[in-house]
Structure 1
Amino acid sequence: MAEDKSKLFLWDSNAIYIGPLSDNSQHKHLATQICFSLDAPFQILVEDNWRETKFAAIPANIPHQLNGGQNRIVIILIDGESVLGRAVSNLGVMVKSNLQSNIVNLPDSIESAKTYLNKLAAGLIKPHAAPLSTPDFDKRISCAIDHISQNLDRQISGAELADLVNISQSRFLHLFSQNAGLPLRRYILWRRIILSIAQISQGADLTSAAHMGGFSDSAHFSRVFRETFGLAPATIFKNSQNIQVFTQ
Structure 2
Amino acid sequence: MLETASYFAPGMALAYGHSVDTDPHQHALWQVCLPSAASVLNGQPLKYGTVIKPDEIHQLCMPSGWVMLAEPESLLGEAISQLPTRLPFAEPDARLNILLEQLGEFPELVHAMQNNPYLCQDDRLARLLARLDQCFGVDCLKPDAWRAKEVAEWLAMSESRFLHLVKAELGIAWRPYLLWRRLICAIQTIRRGKTATEAAYLAGFSDSSHLSRTIKATFGMTGKQLLNSFRDSG
TM-score with structure 2 setting the length: 0.71
Tell me: CA distance 1:227–1:239, structure 2 relative to 1, closer, same or farther (3 Å).
Answer: closer
- With over 3 angstroms needed to count, the CA separation of the structure-2 counterparts of 1:147 and 1:65, relative to structure 1, is closer
Tell me the equivalent position of 2:232.
243
CA contact (8 A) 1:44 1:64 kept: no
Instruction: Name the counterpart of 1:43.
Output: 39
Q: Does 1:26 align with 2:23?
A: yes
Q: Say which of 118, 121, 138 aligns to 1:136.
A: 121
SS at structure 1 position matched to 2:233? strand
Contact 2:39 2:47 in 1 (8 A): yes
Contact 2:32/2:51, CA 8 A, preserved across alignment? yes
CA separation of 1:146/1:75 partners in 2, compared to 1, >3 Å: closer, same or farther? closer
Provide the C-alpha distance between the structure 2 equivalents of 1:16 and 1:239, rounded to a whole number of angstroms.
Answer: 12
Alignment size in residue pairs: 215
Q: What SS is found at the alignment partner of 2:59? A: strand
Unmatched runs of 5 consecutive residues or more in structure 1:
123-132
Structure 1 residue 186 and structure 2 residue 186: aligned? no
Is the CA contact 2:21–2:62 (under 8 Å) kept in the aligned structure 1?
Answer: no
Asked if structure 1 preserves the Cα contact closer than 8 Å seen for 2:23 and 2:221, the reply is no
1:193-228 CA-to-partner distances (Å, cap 9, x unmatched) read 111111111111111111111011111111111222
Whole-Å separation in 2 of the counterparts to 1:89 and 1:14: 14
Give how far 1:12 is off: 3.4
Partner Cα separation in structure 2 for residue 56 and residue 239 of structure 1: 19
Work out the percentage of aligned pairs sharing the same amino acid. 26
- Aligned pairs (5 A) from 1:1-248: 5-20=3-18, 22=19, 24-30=21-27, 31-37=29-35, 39-40=36-37, 42-46=38-42, 49-69=43-63, 71=64, 73-79=65-71, 82=73, 94=85, 96=86, 99-100=87-88, 107=96, 119-120=108-109, 134-138=119-123, 140-146=124-130, 151-238=141-228, 242-244=231-233
2:79–2:108 CA contact under 8 A, matched in 1: no
SS in 2 for 1:243: coil
